[in-house]
Amino acid sequence: MYSGLLIILLPLIAGYLIPLRSKPLIQTINRLLSWMVYVILFFMGISLAFLENLSSNLVLIFKYTGVFFLCIFCANLLMLFVLERRKPWKNTHKQEKLPSRLHMALESLKLCFVVLGGFVLGLTQWQWLQFASKGSEYALLFLLLLVGIQLRNSGMTLRQIVLNRRGMIVALVVAVSALAGGALAAQLLGLPLKTGLAMASGFGWYSLSGILITDAYGPVLGSAAFFNDLARELVAIMLIPTLVRRSRSSALGLCGATSMDFTLPVLQRSGGLEMVPPAIVHGFLLSLLGPVLMALFS
């Protein structure tokens, strides 16, 4: 367990210790991070194609995805509604015109096509493709290094994180309720508790959760983790404009780790500028917590 945690933390810490002042360089790091996500997901698709009893395993992937998604999503939503009732987040913001939610959903689904492309290539069963799993491990270490650099240069200071109580509270509620949902899903599916907790620790960060869970538990659970967290983002995009009127905490919490990047524009336009600081803090904390918890539980 500790060696796995060390492998995750070392590149993250190494990246976090690298300060960058050049904006073009930071933009290059961000682009490189996006490319690495596509590369690793492509490797994941190849590994999936090398599974024995492929058809039955595909059914298992979607079964795991459905149960984990429903348990974690419902647990999050329930606890976030309780938080909103006890600590209302009031506002007078009038919603702006939103970008096409269909367009944003299609952007997310591109990742599915990358996995599918790797899967189709893997079906050729070429001998050299067996090295895809090893290649994904090295690519993962590089990805974590880039994530550490990105977090260091996101502009967030410790003081800003501590002072934004709403972002911290929502992140804590999301983390605890997601783990409870993951534990319930593991019970329903007959999986070990730590497997359920690891699956729940992605917090919507589909690119990382799919990779880490694949390394720990194999491509079946890794693919289920990817689709579970991707479904979370897609549902959040669709529900944010409606939820933000009734429960701003729920609108933020359902975004998970993506609230500091992909879903941030939707949150800002739906809930106003006051949503931005808690959204960044919330996403920042879950992005730090996710890799550590996944490593601990796997």
Domain of residue 231 covers 2-297
pLDDT of amino acid 108: 61
SS3 state at 7: helix
Which residue shows structure tokens 């492309």?
A: 117
What tens digit of pLDDT does each residue of 225-249 get? 988 988 888 788 778 877 887 888 8
Give the number of domains in the chain: 1
pLDDT of amino acid 1: 43
Is 36 within 8 Å of 143 (Cβ atoms)?
yes
Q: What is the pTM of this model?
A: 0.75
Both tokens of 15, joined, read 């990246």
Q: How many CB atoms lie within 10 A of CB 184?
A: 19
pLDDT of amino acid 53: 66
pLDDT of amino acid 52: 63
pLDDT of amino acid 110: 73
**Low-confidence residues in the chain, pLDDT < 50:** 1-2
What tens digit of pLDDT does each residue of 24-82 get? 888 888 788 778 778 877 887 787 777 666 677 888 888 999 999 999 999 999 999 99
Instruction: Give the contacts of 214 (CB within 8 A, at least 6 positions apart).
Output: 44, 47, 133, 136, 221, 222, 223, 225
